[in-house]
C-alpha cells in the first residue's frame, strides 16, 4: 500500500521470528496524524517487538514500518522503564534529544508536567511517577510526529496513573502527535485511545479493532460511566476469545 500524508506510520505486513520461531504477525496497521492507537494483547504475544519495529529499532523478519517523516526526532519512544540518565539532572535528561533552538519547549513541558521545581534534581531523587513524567517530557520535547509507548504506566499506582493519563491527553491537545500505546490495562486503552487493536496470543496478530466513541476531552467521570464500562467489557471479551 502506498504511504500517504495521512499516515505517520504504516506497519505493512510485518512478521518477526526469534530463533526460527514466529513470535509476531503477519500484521498491518497504520497510525494517522494526531490519532492515539492502543494495542492490547496477552503477555508474550509480541507487543514489545511490535513497538520496536514501529519505531525502526528492530528490523522485522518480513514487511516494513514506513514513516512519513524521516527526520531525526520525528519518532519518540517511551520505554516501560523510565530509562533516565542517572548522571544528568532532571532538566538535562529532559533536553537530551533537543537542539538549543527547542529550549523553550523543554521549559514549557517541565512546567506543564510539574517538574520545573525539580529541574536541578538527580533522577534518583524523583518518585516513580515523576520519573515516568520526565521520560514522557523527554520524548515530547523533540516534538515527535509519532510517539510510541510500551506500557509506560504499568509500574505506577492508580492515582498517579490516572493523573498521567490526563497529562498525556493535555500534552496531546497541544502537540497533536500520532501515538501507539501498548498496555495491559483495558481501561487505560479506552480512556486514552481513539482506536484499540486487540492482539491474539503468540504469534501475535491483530484480531479485532474497536473505535472509541467518546468525543472531546476525557474526564475522570467518563471512567465510571456505563458506556465506558460496556466498552471495557467488550474488549475484555475479545481478549478472552483470542488469547
CB of 48 to Mg ion, least distance (A): 3
Q: Which one of Mg ion, ligand ATP, none is in contact with 227 (Cβ closer than 5 to 8 A by kind)?
A: none
* Residue 18 binds which entry of Mg ion, ligand ATP, none, CB below 5-8 Å type-dependent: ligand ATP
Q: Which is nearer to ligand ATP, 90 or 199 (CB)?
A: 199
Of 21, 42, 8, give the one whose Cα is nearest residue 186: 42
Closest by Cα among 201, 193, 207 to 29: 207
41 or 129, CB closer to ligand ATP?
Answer: 41
- Least spacing, CB of residue 49 vs ligand ATP, in Å: 5
Q: Which residue's CB is nearer to ligand ATP, number 17 or number 34? A: 17
Residue whose CB is less far from ligand ATP, 25 or 41: 41
Of Mg ion, ligand ATP, none, which one sits near residue 49, judging by CB under 5 to 8 A according to partner kind?
ligand ATP
- 202 touches Mg ion by CB under 5 A: no
Query: Per rule CB under 5 A, is residue 175 in the interface with Mg ion?
Result: no
Residues that bind ligand ATP (CB under 6 A): 18, 23, 41, 43-49, 202
Q: Which does 25 bind (CB under 5 to 8 A by kind): Mg ion, ligand ATP, none?
A: none
Q: Is 155 in the site for Mg ion (CB under 5 A)?
A: no
Per-residue DSSP letter, 216: S
Distance CA(71)–CA(169), nearest Å, equals: 24
Judged by DSSP in three states, 219 sits in coil
CB of 199 to ligand ATP, least distance (A): 8
Our CB check for ligand ATP shows the closer of 19 and 216 to be 19
Q: Does 48 bind Mg ion (CB under 5 A)?
A: yes
The candidate with the shortest Cα–Cα distance to 179, out of 154, 217, 139, 148, is 148
CA 46 to the chain's CA centroid: 15
Phi–psi pair at 31, nearest 5 degrees: -120, 130
SS3 percent helix, strand, coil of the chain, rounded to 5, is 40, 25, 40
Query: Distance between CA 123 and CA 235 in Å, rounded?
Result: 37
CB of 79 to Mg ion, least distance (A): 10
**Beta strand spans in 32-70 (E):** 36-40, 62-67
Give min distance, CB of 56 to ligand ATP, in A: 16
- DSSP H helical ranges for the chain: 47-55, 90-94, 103-112, 128-140, 158-175, 186-192, 220-223, 226-242
Residues that bind Mg ion (CB under 5 A): 47-48
Amino acid at each position: 500500500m502506498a504511504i500517504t500524508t495521512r499516515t505517520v506510520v504504516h506497519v505493512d505486513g510485518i512478521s518477526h521470528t526469534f530463533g526460527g520461531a514466529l513470535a509476531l504477525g503477519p500484521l498491518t496497521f497504520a497510525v494517522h496524524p494526531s490519532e492515539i492507537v492502543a494495542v492490547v494483547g496477552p503477555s508474550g504475544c509480541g507487543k514489545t517487538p511490535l513497538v520496536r519495529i514501529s519505531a525502526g529499532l528492530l528490523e522485522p523478519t518480513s514487511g516494513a514500518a514506513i514513516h512519513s517523516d524521516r527526520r531525526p526526532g520525528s519518532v519518540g519512544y517511551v520505554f516501560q522503564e523510565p530509562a533516565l540518565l542517572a548522571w544528568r539532572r532532571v532538566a538535562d535528561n529532559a533536553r537530551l534529544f533537543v537542539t538549543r533552538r527547542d529550549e523553550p519547549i523543554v521549559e514549557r513541558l517541565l512546567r506543564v508536567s510539574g517538574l520545573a521545581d525539580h529541574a536541578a534534581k538527580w533522577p534518583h531523587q524523583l518518585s516513580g511517577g515523576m520519573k515516568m513524567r520526565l521520560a514522557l517530557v523527554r520524548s515530547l520535547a523533540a516534538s515527535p510526529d509519532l510517539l510510541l509507548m510500551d506500557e509506560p504506566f504499568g509500574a505506577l499506582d492508580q492515582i498517579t496513573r490516572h493523573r498521567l493519563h490526563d497529562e498525556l491527553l493535555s500534552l496531546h491537545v497541544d502537540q497533536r502527535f500520532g501515538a501507539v500505546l501498548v498496555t495491559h490495562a483495558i481501561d487505560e486503552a479506552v480512556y486514552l485511545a481513539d482506536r484499540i487493536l486487540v492482539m491474539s496470543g503468540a504469534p501475535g496478530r491483530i484480531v479485532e479493532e474497536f473505535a472509541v466513541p467518546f468525543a472531546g476531552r476525557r474526564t475522570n467521570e467518563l471512567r465510571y460511566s456505563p458506556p465506558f464500562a460496556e466498552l471495557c467489557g467488550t474488549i475484555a471479551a475479545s481478549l478472552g476469545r483470542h488469547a
